[in-house]
Structure 1
Amino acid sequence: MYKLSSYIELSSEKNKNQELEYFAVISAKRTKVFLINETIFHFLNHFEMPNSLDKVFGYYKAEFKLKNNEEETLLKDQLQTFFNDLTKRKWIIPDGKVEKLVEFETLFQDKDTFLNYKVLSVLGNNKITDVYLVRDLNTNRKRVIKLLNKLKFKDEKSFDKYSFHFKEEYNFANKFNSIYINKTLGFKTYNRQPYILLKQIDGISISKFVKANKLKTSEKLKLILKMLKGFSIIHQNNVYHGDIHFSNILVKKNGVPVIIDFGYSNKVEFNNEINKGKVRNGGVYAFIPPERALRSIDRRFSKVTHFQSEVYQIGLIIYYVFTKDLPFKADTWKTMVDEKQQLNLSENKAFLKRRMPVQVKQFIIKCLESNPENRFSNASSMYANWKVIYKKYV
């Protein structure tokens, strides 16, 4: 079994002539973008989840409707040559191989000082951003700085493009004033590099919190109530969070959940043809709802177009809080898409036997309906319904 290198991302977009172009983005010490042809793009897509060359050959054999051994041999030889070249380049690697970590260079290190901040630690060294825990030397308070690091970009054009998205991330996070949503404290620049100043959150992801603590039913109900309050505020402001998953919900030691990271957020009214190129689209595979999940090798998922998609993602988190698991077991993306589309918790005996309040089961079932129209309309509706459940059992 082989897989796509974890340092490669595939993308496609239309050029100024409205022709579709394909790219392989390789994130080493600097981000490099390669323009590739459609054939290479499709071939690489087959290895985004662990796969074998034999299975890929079977796909192409069926796709091309080959009729004789001579055609099959020719195709197999071509694919093998193609495969050998990509493995030599290390674009495709054996499944299970531990890749040497690429060390991105952060702009600052521990104990460095810039502006009026002293760096206490590097919290994140990502592909395009640095995240620092700092002390404000004027107030002596700890803060978090998320900085768009220009050194991680191959050219000025790509840096400017991401600078626009980075400012949008701040604008979305700045819309809210809630203890359940990470508070922004300003948008500034250092040597033409923008950074977002954030309140420090002393917490862990909601999945780690649930695993580390033996929560009573009343505590689970309360945790979810607070989380839903946060998401209801986001939806009331006509914003799609865009990237709901475990790591974007931190839980503090006092049990208060805080929603973070608006890097893939969009305005509800922004999802139109005029702004098509500006809409940001991302997500963690396991949390993509069935209506956004695509079995196509061109794209894995579509953008968020209605609140019910995020209702599904929030529902998965609630499912996890009560079961410490997710309802999908698939090893490959296409199989997972099928599982998502076929999931019917109302007839799932294993789920129905779980020990939890009946109304909680009904709530989760409604969230995870395969048809979006059968789910709650948005997080505000979820919050209103959950308050009724909370009052009954707490």
Structure 2
Amino acid sequence: MTEGRVLAGRYELRRVIGRGGMAEVHAAYDHTLGREVAIKLLLERFREDETFTRRFQDEARHVARLNHPNLVAVYDTGADQGQPYIVMELVDGRSLQQAIAAGGLTEDRALEVVADVCSALSYAHERGLIHRDIKPGNILMADDGSVKVTDFGIARAVDNETVTRTAAVLGTAAYLSPEQAQGLDVDARSDVYSLGVVLYESLTGQQPFAGDSPVTVAYQHVQEPPRPPRELDPSITPAAEAIAMRALAKNPVNRYQSASEMRSDVVNARVGQPVAAPAVLPPDETALLTADPSTRSVRTHEQERRRRGLVAALLVTLGLLALVGGVFALMNLLATDDPVLVTVPDVVDETQAVAEELLIRAELTVGTISEEPSDEVEEGRVIRQDPGADTEVEEGSPVDLVISSGEDLVAVPRLVGLSENDALAALREADLVLGTTTEEEDPDSDPRTVLDQDPAPGDAVPPGTAVDITVSIGIEQVRVPRVVNFSENNALDTIRNADLEPSIADREFSIAVGEGFVISQSPAPGELVDPGTTVEIIVSLGPEPEPEPEPEDPPTVEPEPEPEPEPEPEPGDGNGDGNGNGDGNGDGNGDGNGDGDD
């Protein structure tokens, strides 16, 4: 129940924003969904009491069934180390109680708020759930103008046996219905009465009944008629007055029979239409709306006798509540409307003995004392207190202390390489929490894999330390641009601008594509690829030139052989060249007629 604590490894508790008789509400942060929430915690001194624990769990179960724009949403319920909790919507704004204290509301705004509360109650009543504690403090007015009902802490299902008598008186005395004050059976009309008190106070700025004690106020709820609102403020419209007075009828039969019926009148009153509520109620009911106070009858002896009997009955009811374990109910009922408030002193970093002394001096009591390891606060000194310093609380309220038991560190587990979910599980097991998650592209890792962490693995840190991680989200692919028919330089620039790597795979002749322009590319245009992928292109050399014709060799002409010259005759020697047969003719000057034997 202290600031900084993390529930279920997920919900980080922050400041206290509300405190009741058995529970308190913290503003908190949901690290899993990254949103602000409100968390209701059962006060530590009640955790061992089965009755209170069961009531708290009943509230969680009841409210979890409800889903309505005018009801504070419940997101989650559970228990952490034996501490029950309810996770709810955090409403930015203020309560109706604060609005009334700050100067009140216009009549139209008061009716608008009541109409929204009627819607919420009608929804809950249809599901068998009665609120039992409708009051301005449980009606929240968000900054965006919406109205939400909260705190079903004493709600009960209609069919629950505890709805009767002993549980019926639970609630705040100023807003009790007559049947609650008497410990009688209650139904949805009890919430209508309480809402009538709220409307009365919103219109006039004061409650219809006041007294020195809750018993006196409870008696007036049962027996005394309230003053008509227009006697206190004549500017209030008769329609608004009639609605409030009908809702405040002592007998449930004479009230609005449902929240939706009351809402119909409220809506009509806002737009100037007639309302169903009569201007004058029967004599035995709340009041005659038009009667002058001087005409009211004097109480007879019989009425006085009945009054004494009623007071006795109220006291007996309260006594029975205490006897049957209704101590908490008695505390609620007997709580004064104007408690003495004291300021909680700052006891953080004091020794336990000094802290207790300071609390007692401040008219407070020492609540639960627990121990927790700390590497920052010396052993035996106060780490945290609850309520925190400078908080105004009722005199005698307990202040819980967390005392340092000394340093107790845990080792940060190795998260790198784990999936994000596994890393979160490892942190929970080590009593650590997830801090900031940063995303980073990594082509070599599966998506949502832890790439880095801080603190580093093995570092010794206090339990509950936040560990920041970096996870992979893979690589975002790019689409291959079309560069066919681009000039070479234009194609290279286009590919580079797409975060890809160009490469000229070849140069080829082309009749269709001019020289210096791209013929083809790979991968094809439009394909998704990783950044840095190589895109190959083939560049045109232009048309292939025609080959020049080779020269033909002239035919080879064989030269005719030159005729050999005839030998010139040599001078004769007189011997002649006979053929040996005497036939030779000498070439000489003589006549060779030899016989060949020469």
Structure 2 unaligned spans of 5+: 274-598
C-alpha deviations, 1:244-285, integer Å up to 9, x for none?
Answer: 11211111123322111111111112247xx86995751111
Counterparts of 1:338 and 1:277, CA distance in 2:
17
Counterparts of 2:262 and 2:145, CA distance in 1:
20
Does the 8 A contact of 1:281 with 1:304 survive in 2? Answer: no
Q: Is structure 2 residue 35 aligned with structure 1 residue 141? A: yes
| Amino acid aligned to 1:379 | A
C-alpha deviations, 1:44-100, integer Å up to 9, x for none?
Answer: xxxxxxxxxxxxxxxxxxxxxxxxxxxxxxxxxxxxxxxxxxxxxxxxxxxxxxxxx
Does the 8 A contact of 1:205 with 1:246 survive in 2? Answer: yes
SS in 2 for 1:201: coil
Partner of residue 84, structure 2:
194
Partner of residue 168, structure 1:
58
Does the 8 A contact of 1:127 with 1:152 survive in 2? Answer: no
Distance 1:226 1:277, change over 3 A: closer
SS in 1 for 2:179: coil
Which one has the largest radius of gyration? 2
Select 1:340's aligned residue among 213, 221, 231: 221
Select 1:361's aligned residue among 220, 241, 249: 241
TM-score for the superposition, normalised by structure 1: 0.62
Counterparts of 1:352 and 1:119, CA distance in 2:
44
Distance 1:269 1:258, change over 3 A: same
Partner of residue 45, structure 2:
152
User: Which residues in structure 2 correspond to 1:205-354 (within 5 Å)?
Assistant: 205-212=95-102, 215-271=105-161, 281-294=169-182, 302=183, 304-345=185-226, 348=228, 351=231, 354=234
Counterparts of 1:242 and 1:225, CA distance in 2:
18
Partner of residue 118, structure 1:
12
User: How many residues are treated as equivalent by the alignment?
Assistant: 273
Q: Is structure 2 residue 26 aligned with structure 1 residue 132? A: yes
SS in 1 for 2:269: helix
Counterparts of 1:385 and 1:123, CA distance in 2:
34
Does the 8 A contact of 2:114 with 2:195 survive in 1? Answer: no
Partner of residue 262, structure 2:
382
- How many Å apart are 1:312 and its aligned residue? 1.0
- How many Å apart are 1:128 and its aligned residue? 4.5
After superposition, the CA RMSD in angstroms is 2.8
| Amino acid aligned to 1:329 | A
| Amino acid aligned to 1:123 | I
Q: How many percent identity over aligned positions?
A: 23
SS in 2 for 1:138: coil
- How many Å apart are 1:349 and its aligned residue? 8.5
Does the 8 A contact of 1:232 with 1:378 survive in 2? Answer: yes
- How many Å apart are 1:242 and its aligned residue? 1.5
Counterparts of 1:112 and 1:334, CA distance in 2:
41
| Amino acid aligned to 2:199 | I
Distance 1:276 1:315, change over 3 A: closer
| Amino acid aligned to 1:314 | L
Counterparts of 2:175 and 2:100, CA distance in 1:
18
Higher helix share: 1
User: Which residues in structure 2 correspond to 1:99-114 (within 5 Å)?
Assistant: 106=1, 108-109=2-3, 111-114=4-7
Does the 8 A contact of 2:200 with 2:229 survive in 1? Answer: no
Counterparts of 1:201 and 1:141, CA distance in 2:
12
Counterparts of 2:21 and 2:151, CA distance in 1:
15
Counterparts of 1:279 and 1:341, CA distance in 2:
18
Distance 1:117 1:371, change over 3 A: closer
Does the 8 A contact of 2:169 with 2:180 survive in 1? Answer: no
Moved over 4 A (4+): 124-128, 275-281, 347-350
Does the 8 A contact of 1:236 with 1:380 survive in 2? Answer: no
Partner of residue 298, structure 1:
none
- How many Å apart are 1:239 and its aligned residue? 1.2
Counterparts of 1:126 and 1:208, CA distance in 2:
16
Distance 1:191 1:257, change over 3 A: same
TM-score for the superposition, normalised by structure 2: 0.42
Does the 8 A contact of 2:70 with 2:120 survive in 1? Answer: yes
SS in 1 for 2:180: coil
Does the 8 A contact of 1:352 with 1:361 survive in 2? Answer: no
Counterparts of 2:53 and 2:129, CA distance in 1:
20
- How many Å apart are 1:190 and its aligned residue? 0.9
Counterparts of 1:368 and 1:351, CA distance in 2:
16
- How many Å apart are 1:367 and its aligned residue? 0.8
Distance 1:144 1:381, change over 3 A: same
- How many Å apart are 1:368 and its aligned residue? 1.0
Does the 8 A contact of 1:223 with 1:255 survive in 2? Answer: no
Does the 8 A contact of 1:266 with 1:280 survive in 2? Answer: no
- How many Å apart are 1:188 and its aligned residue? 1.6
Counterparts of 1:291 and 1:276, CA distance in 2:
10
SS in 1 for 2:181: coil
- How many Å apart are 1:146 and its aligned residue? 1.5
- How many Å apart are 1:307 and its aligned residue? 2.1
Does the 8 A contact of 1:241 with 1:264 survive in 2? Answer: yes
Distance 1:230 1:144, change over 3 A: same
Distance 1:210 1:336, change over 3 A: closer
| Amino acid aligned to 1:147 | L
Counterparts of 1:164 and 1:363, CA distance in 2:
37
C-alpha deviations, 1:160-214, integer Å up to 9, x for none?
Answer: 3322222210121112211210100011221132211111112222121134256
- How many Å apart are 1:378 and its aligned residue? 1.9
SS in 2 for 1:327: coil
